[in-house]
A and B are shown apart, each in its own frame.
Chain A
Amino acid sequence: DGGITQSPKYLFRKEGQNVTLSCEQNLNHDAMYWYRQDPGQGLRLIYYSQIVNDFQKGDIAEGYSVSREKKESFPLTVTSAQKNPTAFYLCASSGGQGAFGNTIYFGEGSWLTVV
């Protein structure tokens, strides 16, 4: 199946620990993104990457880190520096040809809870 796969779906973290959320896409998209969603709110951009080995900070990058070593993978690490990490995290990608080349498609999301 083609699409964006995020894992794990649910993750619990103790305070002071780093955790990494996985995002893999087989859509051959050049660009990938991480968004954060807090309950009852819209999405905010954490990091994005337009090509392999390159990424830029979004609006709320503090306390997060990413890597883009492969085109299909864009993992997000939530570090202990992130003050309030409990949220729903959505990975996305965009690319391709034609009229929908710039449409951003999303994975199913990962719920992170700090305990």
Chain B
Amino acid sequence: AQKVTQAQTEISVVEKEDVTLDCVYETRDTTYYLFWYKQPPSGELVFLIRRNSFDEQNEISGRYSWNFQKSTSSFNFTITASQVVDSAVYFCALSEAGAAGNKLTFGGGTRVLVKP
């Protein structure tokens, strides 16, 4: 069975600090996808990134960066120079490869609070 663990339930930082969110996953599949979603207070889940299991390149998008390490089954997310608007709950998720219709297994989420 698939499992996603986000050990940090809540992180509080002061604006402009960097924050790293940990994500560890378990799967027996050799091909899979990893995702990060942001859930602001309004409730909707906003897609941030998808990473294929066969692509271990790290990625940077503006102030966001992701570190995928297959050897340790981790897919960590860093927000650089955090801003108040980054305050949200962030979810890491895992899905099996295949045709459209993949199901997501979510971690418990990490609440990030950025104080001005």
Contact = CB atoms under 8 A, between A and B. Distances in A.
Contact of B44 (A42, A43, A95, A106): A106
B104 interface: yes
Nearest to B101: A50
Contacts of B101: 30-31, 48, 50, 94
Contacts of B42: 108
Given A41-B109, A42-B91, A108-B42, A102 B103 contact: no
A108 B43 contact: yes
Given A41-B109, A42-B108, A100-B50, A33 B103 contact: yes
Contact of B100 (A40, A45, A95, A106): A95
Interface in A15-46: 29-31, 33, 35, 40-45
Contacts, number: 70
Nearest to B45: A106
B43 to A, nearest CB: 4
A42 B92 CA distance: 10
Contacts of A30: 100-101
B102 A102 contact: yes
A63 interface: no
A103 B104 CA distance: 10
Contacts of A48: 101, 103
Interface residues of B, number: 25
A45 B109 CA distance: 15
B100 A101 contact: yes
Interface residues of A, number: 31
Q: Which of A35, A48, A106, A108 has the most CB of B within 10 A?
A: A106
A96 B33 CA distance: 16
A42 B102 contact: no
Nearest to B107: A42
Interface of A: 29-31, 33, 35, 40-45, 48, 50, 58, 88, 90, 92, 94-96, 100-109, 111
6 contacts: A31-B102, A33-B104, A43-B106, A50-B100, A104-B35, A106-B47
